[in-house]
């Protein structure tokens, strides 16, 4: 059995329950470096919880997901945030769910532009990276350190993303 999963636009307010939308926000802009650089300040907050934990920077190369696509699992990282930033100007999908008693509830899908990143707070259910159309590189900031920082959950009912309407 499957449910259709609609795709919503990715906005700061819609994504707020899950973390930070990371995009150039004029309200946070400051001029630095003698006025030659615009700094969009404090768009997200990295979390690295637990003794011996540290924030690390990675490069992920995502294979494109083909639609229709079945969402049948989610993951979360209890000890740290995870932030994804596309390095090419290509759209990608963000799928998240609220926690319902230790497991993910019904997922929500967002279409992110190639100029939008997200920062999932620690312990937020999300689907693994979902590049679209082409192989895509992402700068990923997350936690390294002791402890099992990955929990996966497989739904008994799957959700299908049919197509993207732009």
Chain segment 4-59, per-residue pLDDT in tens: 999 999 999 999 999 999 999 999 999 999 999 999 999 999 999 999 999 999 99
User: Cα(36)–Cα(130) distance, rounded to whole angstroms?
Assistant: 34
> Across-strand partners of 82?
120
This prediction has a pTM of 0.93
Whether 166 is covered by a domain: the verdict is: no
Whether 122 is covered by a domain: the verdict is: yes
- Residue range of the domain that includes 112: 2-161
Whether 85 is covered by a domain: the verdict is: yes
Scan for tokens 């740290």, then name that residue.
80
Which pLDDT band, with edges at 50, 70 and 90, does 166 fall under?
low
For residue 137, what is the domain's CATH number? 2.60.120.480
Whether 132 is covered by a domain: the verdict is: yes
Whether 117 is covered by a domain: the verdict is: yes
Average pLDDT score over residue span 101-124: 98
Domain count of the fold of the chain:
1
DSSP label of 16: T
Whether 28 is covered by a domain: the verdict is: yes
Whether 78 is covered by a domain: the verdict is: yes
User: Cα(23)–Cα(50) distance, rounded to whole angstroms?
Assistant: 28
Whether 21 is covered by a domain: the verdict is: yes
If you average pLDDT over every residue of the chain, what do you get?
Answer: 96
**Residue 161 confidence (pLDDT) above 90:** yes
């Amino acid at each position: 059995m499957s449910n259709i999963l609609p795709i919503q636009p990715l906005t700061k307010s819609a994504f707020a329950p899950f973390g930070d939308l990371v995009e150039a926000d004029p309200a946070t802009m400051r001029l630095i470096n003698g006025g030659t650089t615009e700094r969009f300040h404090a768009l997200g907050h990295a979390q690295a919880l637990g003794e011996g934990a540290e924030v690390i920077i990675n490069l992920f190369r995502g294979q494109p997901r083909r639609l229709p696509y079945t969402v049948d699992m989610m993951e979360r990282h209890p000890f740290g945030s995870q932030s994804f930033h596309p390095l090419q100007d290509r759209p990608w999908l963000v799928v998240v769910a609220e926690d319902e008693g230790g497991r993910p509830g019904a997922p929500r899908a967002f279409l992110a532009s190639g100029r939008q990143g997200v920062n999932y707070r620690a312990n937020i259910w999300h689907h693994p990276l979902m590049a679209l159309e082409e192989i895509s590189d992402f700068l990923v900031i997350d936690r390294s350190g002791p402890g099992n920082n990955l929990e996966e959950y497989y739904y008994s009912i799957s959700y299908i993303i049919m197509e993207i309407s732009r």
